[in-house]
A and B are shown apart, each in its own frame.
Chain A
Amino acid sequence: MSGFTGYIQLVYVLVAALFVIGLHLMNSPATARRGNQVALTGMVIAVIATLVLLIHDGTVTAAGWTVIIVGSLLGSAVGLWAARTVQMTAMPQLVSAFNSVGGGAAALVAIYGYYEAEARGAVLGTTSVFTVLDVLIGSVTFSGSIIAAGKLQGWIGGQPIIFRGSRLLNVTLAVVAIGTAAFMLTTASLPALFIVVLAALGFGVLMVLPIGGADMPVVISLLNAFTGTAVAMAGFVIGNWALIVAGALVGASGGILTKLMADAMNRSLTNIIMGGFGTGDSVVAVGGAADAHVRSIAADDAAIQLAYASKVIIVPGYGLAAAQAQHGVAELATLLEDRGIEVSYAIHPVAGRMPGHMNVLLAEANVPYPLLKEMEEINPEFGRADVALVIGANDVTNPAARRPGNEISGMPILDVDQARSIIVVKRSMGHGYAGLENELYFDPKTSMYFADAKKAMAQLTAAVKTLVA
């Protein structure tokens, strides 16, 4: 390592340290913004150092500078536009899109590395393992994330898409991709590179297509881990520590979130990748529930329960986000708080379409973050709650999960049934993703308020106002 390059590498070490410090500051909402700024500082330093390296190197042609500068400016503009305009409900799509371009860029770095080495007739060294891995993982992430984003955006049906022979085709693609990749290691061959890229892209598509909407939090986390790994591999290819460290950090983060999400649904990763759950065609009747009585409630009665409670726990689910009712919920909660009622929110880990999604939606509706409680924290409190108000959440409140022998057995749930009374806001008696009857609805303590979440919040708020006026 020559003197100058050595100094630049030292700068990259600083950059890696800034990334770690930035992520460390994300451990509390109070310091998280600073964390993001620290990480951004690291990124700016990395880009400047690389520019210095390129200028010092002096081999970049005018055309080379043009493509890099124009590409970066265009990319920045698109990224900034997307970040500024995205709705908070559409955050999972955006994160997926960023996973996609990140993985794609990492794959391109390796593709170029291989192409350039082949053109020079260079002997492929040990780094070629990483080049090949980068091409594989990066391509799978690129196409898989596009499909995930398309599903979340509604461009592609959210239902699992499985056609005849799709699994066989998927296995074939995997075998072709890995087999050809192994061949690439021993022989420099551009056609082989081409086949690997195509097969990996196809595999990414077929991997995500059969996965249902409710499993998206796991898929996004997994693809996030993939992108990180691809970037780390790109770091090996070009021998850059900043890329290796950043990629490893992202890989660790994505891996942890994948595990948390899968655990929160009590499902194994294999099970999710294989699809099947969330198809809604596997309805299992839970003993005696079908003929039990469901009590529905009017806005006035619900308002009385809420207005004269001393502790209310709100349980938001994806239905709330889908109905854009988060602002309405916040308004109702504020009204209750103004009466001196203790209000908190019980957030299940998979409420929403990506890890932590519900918290962002409620934060946008100006709900202070100390009121947002994680499952472990809020569960012991349900026993002291006068009213649990369930809005658009289903499977995560089903007490059937505590018993063995059904679709959701063993899944961690919110102990909503421990509350003194329960009001469930729901459009109909439809099933959740598990295709299971929710026993909570047949509990004598439960009243059903049948309405769209947004309308329901407006009606309940109006009723409470009338009551207390």
Chain B
Amino acid sequence: MSTALLTDLTIFILALLVGIEVIGKVPATLHTPLMSATNAIHGIVLVGAMLIGVSAHNVVGYVLAFVASFFASANVVGGYAVTGRMLKMFRRKAPEQSAPEQNPALNGHKGLRGMLSRAGKVQP
């Protein structure tokens, strides 16, 4: 077994343990954003897709590089964008006048919000 492989394996195992430790502390409330954030993170495979380009000098190589870059970049960009969009919706207090996230027709209850009566109840 080469030193490089041994190093790679060490890093893999340690990262796995760090992952278990870090992810275990994420509350259930955030599990969906967590999953889409980790989704975006595994988009790092884009680096691998780009590196195909180093030695790709024929059609097979180009096709594989193209499809892999396409897949991985959709993964990265979409993953971060949708995670950001979701996390923006998580608020400690209900917004009084903020713009509806998506469908104004479904958000017709803004006027009902009584911040005064809520303020006392919404504990951090």
Contacts and interface: CB of A to CB of B under 8 A. Distances in A.
Interface string B41-67: 111111111111111110011111111
A7 B111 CA distance: 57
Contacts of A245: 11-12, 15
A246 B42 CA distance: 6
Nearest to B101: A364
A217 to B, nearest CB: 9
Majority secondary structure of chain A interface residues (helix, strand, loop or mixed):
helix
A102 B8 contact: no
A232 B70 contact: no
Interface residues of A, number: 132
A327 to B, nearest CB: 4
Interface string B61-101: 11111111111111111111111111111111111000001
A169 B64 CA distance: 29
B64 A247 contact: no
Contact of A253 (B32, B38, B76, B89): B38
A240 B69 contact: no
B12 A80 contact: no
Given A231-B45, A242-B47, A364 B54 contact: no
A28 to B, nearest CB: 7
A46 interface: yes
B4 A239 contact: yes
A91 interface: yes
B40 to A, nearest CB: 7
Contacts of A466: none
A334 B19 contact: no
A79 B76 contact: yes
B53 A366 contact: no
A83 B45 CA distance: 19
A240 B48 contact: yes
Majority secondary structure of chain B interface residues (helix, strand, loop or mixed):
helix
Contact of B42 (A35, A247, A327): A247
Interface stretch (A50-58, A172-180, A273-281, A286-294): A50-58
B69 A79 contact: no
B92 A43 contact: no
Interface string A53-97: 110010111011101101111111011101110111001001100
Interface string B93-124: 11100000110001111001110011001111
A66 B73 CA distance: 15
Contacts, number: 431
A255 B34 CA distance: 13
A378 to B, nearest CB: 11
Interface stretch (A157-165, A349-357, A406-414): A349-357
B8 A253 contact: no
Given A241-B8, A246-B42, A112 B112 contact: no
A363 interface: yes
Chain A CB within 10 Å, residue with most, of B20, B75, B83:
B75
A84 B85 contact: yes
B22 A374 contact: no
Contacts of A14: none
Contacts of A237: 48
Contacts of B56: 60-61, 64, 67, 112
Contact of B12 (A27, A75, A227, A248): A248
B5 A246 contact: no
A109 interface: yes
A98 B37 contact: no
A39 interface: yes
B39 A79 contact: no
A40 B124 CA distance: 28
B36 A95 contact: yes
5 contacts: A32-B87, A98-B36, A102-B43, A327-B109, A368-B122
Given A68-B69, A83-B80, A244-B12, 5 more contacts: A43-B40, A46-B46, A67-B53, A116-B61, A355-B35
